[in-house]
Amino acid sequence: MSYRSVNPYNGDVMAEFDEIGDAALEQAVATAETCFEAWRRTAFAERAAIATRAASILRQQAEDHARPMTQEMGKRISEARGEVALSADIIDYYAIHAERFLAPEILQPEAGEAHVESEPIGLLFGVQPWNFPYYQLARFAAPNLMAGNVVMVKHSGTVPQCALRFEQLWRDAGAPAGAYTNVFASYDQITRLIDDPRVKGVALTGSADAGRKVAARAGQNLKKSTMELGGSDAFIVLADADIAKTVKWAMWAKLNNMGQCCIAAKRFIAVDAVADAFFAAFTDAMTRLTPGDPMDAATTLAPLSTEAALLTLVAQVDRAVAHGATRVMGGGRIDRPGSFMQPTILSHITRDNPAFDEEFFGPVALFFRVADADAAVALANDSSFGLGGSVFTRDIAEGQAIARRIETGMVFVNQPTWTAADLPFGGIKQSGYGRELSRAGIQEFVNRKLIRVASIDDAP
């Protein structure tokens, strides 16, 4: 497996890193296992002090952390700064709330006393993607470290400098050796780590194909796992929607991180009454995007993360068109240096078209016209994915009613699906299982142990 920093804006190779050797990996696991025995007994206040320092360092050194994201995967610098701030917020959130979230739960049995305690389970292994190089790590590491677990992370091979920076962040904050460990692991080593009895749980954020492989391996070892996989989120525009405001959110929903986001809006579903107005305004807004240096705050269209990502997306569009989709605009690479994709809109996508049930990871929007709200719900649910979705309407009660009918883990009304430390994040169907963030995120990898006290003289 390659660990290389390649700037997708100009193709420059900035750094390369060797995979970890087997002996070094064994030492890393042993160190983490030893660390856990002490870390699990560390008071919440001490863990929180370290986490708070980590969040503070992120904020104080925001530019130093944001720049590598832009250089390694092309994220616009304004979005990179926002991700640094979000990551710090997540770490702070668990520093503040972890002890309360994991406090013993007092039960009320018919006789005697009982309560449930939440105990850490040990070393957790996370496989994390490139598209949000710090946020993905923060939402895995912060709750689990605060719960008393220790974490080992295999980050994407395309963002190794971000991976090292996040590991250094915890060291600088005072975390003991083995609490947070980055490993530049090979595919074989990933398998061995999942098999290793010292690893007690596995978390993956990635594609459905990667999820199947990792979940299957974890299952063979009877290990708890969480899977945050892909999505094909529906962006539903109802008849009474404020079109001007809705189009602004549609652009944000599609172009955040250049569409390289599991919860990016991918299927835009408008009812007949407003379809023409929405489609015209959305198309006009897409034509106004201009490519440029992602380090320049004025840039509105950044490159995709890698050349391979660009070629994959172009091939998807070509296949969709070959199966009958209409190419409204774009569809190919931009004729300039860098991995730039034209802003693209496809329409007239029938159910037998491969594009109907694929995830398009980039600035490609699929447009659907439907008769009414019922048809919009039916189309939104006709997907193997079930991550997020959004509904735009002036009638909040109607929006909530529609949201209840959509088969996903998250639905937002009058804003696109997004993330915050205090909101549970996760999906159903091929979008995976388990939840991250909020109270739910810290409960995934703890042992909810019942402790029961009863009179020795009472019958069971």
Is the pLDDT at 341 greater than 80, yes or no? yes
pLDDT reported for residue 2: 87
Whole-angstrom distance, CA of residue 120 vs CA of residue 4: 34
> Does 65 have pLDDT greater than 80?
yes
pLDDT tens per residue across span 13-41:
999 999 999 999 999 999 999 999 999 99
> If you average pLDDT over residues 97-101, what whole number do you get?
98
Level-2 CATH architecture, domain 233-413: 3-Layer(aba) Sandwich (3.40)
Q: Output the six-digit token pair for 399.
A: 């929006």
pLDDT above 90 (res 169): yes
- CA 332 to mean position of chain CA atoms: 26
Instruction: Say which of 167, 262, 436, 444 is annotated catalytic.
Output: 262
Q: What are phi and psi of 218, to 5 degrees?
A: -65, -40
Give the model confidence (pLDDT) of 225-242 as tens digits: 999 999 999 999 999 999
Q: What is the pLDDT of residue 1?
A: 74
Residue 162 appears among annotated catalytic residues: no
Residue 334 is predicted with a pLDDT of: 98
Pair type for strands 265-271 and 326-329: unpaired
Looking at the whole model, is its pTM more than 0.95?
yes
Ramachandran bin of 405, using left for φ above 0, alpha for ψ from -120 to 50, beta for the remaining angles: alpha
Domain-by-domain residue ranges, the chain? 3-229+431-451, 233-413
Catalytic residue among 79, 83, 167, 228: 228
Query: How far apart are alpha carbons 457 and 436 in whole angstroms?
Result: 44
Q: How confident is the model at residue 436 (pLDDT cuts 50, 70, 90)?
A: very high
Is-catalytic flag, 228? yes
- The answer on pLDDT for 459 being more than 90 is no
For residue range 189-204, list pLDDT tens digits in order. 999 999 999 999 999 9
CA distance 255 to 66: 19
CATH of domain 3-229+431-451: 3.40.605.10
Report pLDDT digits (tens) over 108-134: 999 999 999 999 999 999 999 999 999
**What is the pLDDT, as a whole number, of residue 47?**
98
